[in-house]
Structure 1
């Protein structure tokens, strides 16, 4: 059964401006530890790829917060929600701490997709309630 659906679109130019203004502080606020490693690697190889990576993660976390119906309030925080990728590239949600505990207690599972094109990054999340 569907518990919630969330979508978000993010202006990549806004993310780029935040990085230019705040440097790593913005990324460190939004990204989980595993994501920070990927962001630094991508940024070092090609800075624009790093910007797009950060934009897709920002968008996906916004979409996830909408799908679970919390917005950005406890236990939902930027760093407790991580968007990782399988070897195939397929994104998936990894939760940490109190957010993970809450999510599992509700018997939920999340599905996420992300995309970016020129000036925009977009995400879509479906959260399902597992069958008892």
Structure 2
């Protein structure tokens, strides 16, 4: 059963402007510990690849926050939600701390897809209730 759906479109040029103003602090605010490692590696190879990675993660976290119905309110935080790639390349959502507990208590499972082009990154998230009898709304 579908619990929630979220989508987001992010202008990569705005992410670049934020990085120019705030430097790495912006990426460190948005990205979790595993994501920041991937971001730094991609940016070291090609600056634009790092920015695209940051934008897709920003977009996916926005979409996830919409799908769970919390927006950016506790326990949803930028760093508690990571979008990491499985060995196959498929993006997956990994949650930490209070957000992971909140999500598990409700018996939820999330599916995410991300895409980007030169100027835009987009994401789509579907959250399903595995056991509707456990479903607790925010």
Instruction: Output the CA distance in 1 between the equivalents of 2:46 and 2:120.
Output: 18
2:108 matches 1:108: yes
TM-score normalised to structure 1 length: 0.98
Give ranges in structure 2 of 5+ residues lacking alignment. Answer: 134-138
Give ranges in structure 1 of 5+ residues lacking alignment. Answer: none
The one-character-per-residue Cα deviations of 1:8-53 (angstroms, maximum 9, x if unpaired) are 0000000011111111000000000000000000000111000000
Q: Please state whether the residue corresponding to 2:103 is helix, strand or coil.
A: helix
TM-score normalised to structure 2 length: 0.94
Report the counterpart of residue 50 of structure 1 in structure 2: 50
Instruction: Give the deviation of 1:105 after TM superposition.
Output: 0.2
Report the counterpart of residue 118 of structure 2 in structure 1: 118
Instruction: Output the CA distance in 2 between the equivalents of 1:59 and 1:12.
Output: 10
- CA RMSD in angstroms comes to 0.7
Report the counterpart of residue 12 of structure 1 in structure 2: 12
Instruction: Output the CA distance in 1 between the equivalents of 2:118 and 2:40.
Output: 21
Report the counterpart of residue 32 of structure 1 in structure 2: 32
Instruction: Give the deviation of 1:118 after TM superposition.
Output: 1.3
Structure 1: 4+ residue segments shifted above 4 A: none
Instruction: Output the CA distance in 1 between the equivalents of 2:39 and 2:11.
Output: 18
